[in-house]
Amino acid sequence: MTASQNVLTVEISDGVGLATVNRPEVRNAINSAVLQALTRTLEELAENDDVQVLIFTGAGDKAFVAGADINDLAVRTPRDGLKATMQSVYEKVEQFPKPTIAAVNGYAFGGGHELALACDIRIASTAAQFALPETGLGIMPGAGGTQRLAKLVGLGRATEIILTGRRVKADDALAMGLVTSVVEPGELLDTARETANAIMAKGPLAIQLAKLVVRHGFDTDHTTGMLLERLAQSVLYSSAEKAEGTTAFLEKRTPDFRSAARKDVTE
């Protein structure tokens, strides 16, 4: 199944949604139309049971997303800064109930870098480069970059990247933990799909709760994080999914988590 929203294309196949920012003529720069399409897509796919994992990428071979459209930035006002539309959309990406993967195929600058940061997993091609160049425009990262980058790579390194605006190549991004793997450009989407398939082979409720606990536990104190872990585990202990997973292991067969998930919904 393929749906087109002009600036954003969405393909759904075998449980995986592929959302492609489709403005290659401007290196997939994000404007208001892209943000609106992203919002619609996230709302629709959150309720679509045919989608278990969502992959983001950019059209063409030059850019993932090369930041916000400078023509839009040039006319923004303090009121726009407070409204923080891009930040709000990326919050929706981060809070998306299903796992998300950024398949970074080229330049991921500014808002493009921040889109990748909002995803659960980042896989880069050898051609990928990351940067937060906003200070060179007299502004600063405003869609989560100041917060998410520091959590991934550490406060000192994130501060240096933001203040200098320097470009981080794929191998350096891997070394600092910004991405989880680097592959040749022709292997990028296949690798992202393989990662999605590995996730989909696991219990869907376990995946959803693990994502929630990791995200929210990281932002709180240790004791509260451990409590979240215990509570989530107690929910899973009562699920048909856990019964299916443990029974299948003992019977030396592949678990049928989809049937178990349906049972959990109907009980």
Active site residues: 114, 134
Query: 242-251: long-range contacts (C-beta < 8 A, 24 or more apart)?
Result: 242/203, 242/206, 244/203, 245/203, 245/206
C-alpha 243/C-alpha 5 separation (Å) is: 41
Whole-angstrom distance, CA of residue 262 vs CA of residue 240:
9
* Nearest-angstrom CA–CA distance, 129 and 108: 6
- Show the beta-strand stretches assigned E in the chain: 2-4, 8-13, 16-21, 53-58, 63-66, 100-104, 107-109, 121-125, 129-131, 168-169, 181-183
Residues 6+ apart with CB under 8 A from 253: none
Residue 6 CA to residue 227 CA, distance in Å, equals 44
Amino acid at site 212: L
* Beta bridge mates, 95: none
Strands 16-21, 8-13: pairing kind = antiparallel
For residues 147 and 155, give the distance between their C-alpha atoms in angstroms, rounded to a whole number.
Answer: 9
